[in-house]
Amino acid sequence: MQGLGLSGVRKTYGRTEVVRGVDLEVARGEFIVILGPSGCGKSTLLRMIAGLEDASAGTILIDGAEVTHLPPRRREIAMVFQNYALYPHLTVAGNIAYPLRVAGTPKAEQQARVAEAARVVGLGDYMERKPAELSGGQRQRVAMARAIVRRPKVFLFDEPLSNLDAKLRVQMRAEIRDLHRRIGVTSVFVTHDQVEAMTLADRIVVMNTGLIEQVGTPADIYHRPASRYVASFVGATPMSFLSGVVHDDGGAVVVPGGGVIPLPRPLGAARAGKPIVAGLRAEGVAITATGAAPHLTGSYRFSEELGNHAIHHVAIAGTEVLAQGHSGRPPAEGAVGLTVEADGVHLFEVETGKRVG
């Protein structure tokens, strides 16, 4: 059952098209994260779903009903913003009740629904406090309770965690995920933070300059990125890209300096001798063990210590390649060999950046 449907949605400001034709089907109860860098149009898309911006073209459906031209209050959506937008003079209870008061919901029903929403987010003991007397995380929960109280068909989140410190962000991420599991409302969450996307989403929508670049589960996006753009956007450690040429037998990529990157499956004969880009994730690259023959050779630059492992930076023909290794055991200075796991190699077209194979 469809919870949200976008078809051919576009937004033009003057002569600039910032959303350039977006099609997306979201199942009822699904948690979708729209991921992309600043300026890619993700907030504009969210605001069009909310009805805060008019779509220049296309249609928007919520639970199967067209809402493209309805005002926000008739779309049965609730939005949680980055700055929470709480009323400072109202108590927690007053803030949560606000949308019901505006809608003219009877007093008794208001009280019951506010109590229920506050209970769901764990704010029952704070009902008489003002926003200034709450922590950042508690304010975020008030904003979520105020969204829940309306029993919306769709939740929209616009980078709601970006003002919180790192530890609280992790906690609120878990709370949002848990809340979604319990109330199961279709949710669209916008962020530029790939960790947020990977940990929250049922499916991630990666946006690039107003268009969807890929839609997939976090595992799809990580293990089968549709393009170099997507590959460079996800993963805590950036993917390394090496330009090379497909070996005559199609089974490897030869890179400048003579290194050879093994491939999981041979490429067709038509690719032999043609340029290609190989993408390597650090966990699939290791410093070559003493006595073994390396796939690549470069010069060691430095290591980043991450506690449970280290990331070694190695320069190969002017490109930086990252290799994962043991903590506290940096390689010796100078020339260093790298061993590449064929299964972890991604290939991309030079011109378009699209995935090969």
Q: At closest approach, how far in Å is the CB of 34 from ligand ATP? A: 9
Binding track over 24-53 against ligand ATP, x by CB under 6 A: ------------x-xxxxxxx---------
- Min. distance of Cβ 328 from ligand ATP in angstroms? 38
Q: How many residues bind ligand ATP (CB under 6 A)?
A: 11
- The distance of closest approach from Cβ of residue 40 to ligand ATP in the complex, given in angstroms and rounded to an integer, is 4
CA dihedral (141, 142, 148, 150) in degrees, to 10, reads -170
Residues 227-246 contacting ligand ATP, CB under 6 A: none
Place of tokens 């008739």: 74
43 versus 105: smaller Cβ distance to ligand ATP: 43
Q: Are the C-beta atoms of residues 214 and 230 closer than 8 Å to each other?
A: yes
- Among the listed residues 257, 249, 234, the one whose alpha carbon sits nearest the alpha carbon of residue 346: 234
160 binds ligand ATP (CB under 6 A): no
Write down the least CB distance from residue 39 to ligand ATP, Å.
4
Strand 186-191 relative to strand 296-305, pairing: unpaired
Contact status, residue 335 vs residue 281, Cβ threshold 8 Å? no
Minimum Å distance from CB 38 to ligand ATP?
Answer: 3
Among 8, 13, 174, 301, binds ligand ATP (CB under 6 A): 13
Q: Which is nearer to ligand ATP, 38 or 290 (CB)?
A: 38
Nearer to ligand ATP, 9 or 18 (CB): 18
CA–CA separation, 301 and 189 (whole Å) = 38
Cross-strand pairs, 323:
312
- Residue, CB closest to ligand ATP: 43
Hey, what are 317's tokens?
């023909």
Report the candidate in 257, 343, 241, 243 with the shortest Cα–Cα distance to residue 297.
257
Find, among 343, 53, 134, 95, the residue nearest to 223 by Cα: 343
Shortest distance, position 123 Cβ to ligand ATP, whole Å: 28
Between 57 and 115, CB nearer to ligand ATP: 57
Least Å distance between CB 43 and ligand ATP?
3
Which of 216, 274, 267, 224 is closest to 33 using CA atoms? 216
The position carrying tokens 């049965």 is: 76
Q: Show the binding pattern over residues 187-206: x = contacts ligand ATP (CB under 6 A), - = does not.
A: -----x--------------
For β-strands 203-208 and 31-35, DSSP reports them as parallel
The footprint of ligand ATP (CB under 6 A) covers: 13, 18, 36, 38-44, 192
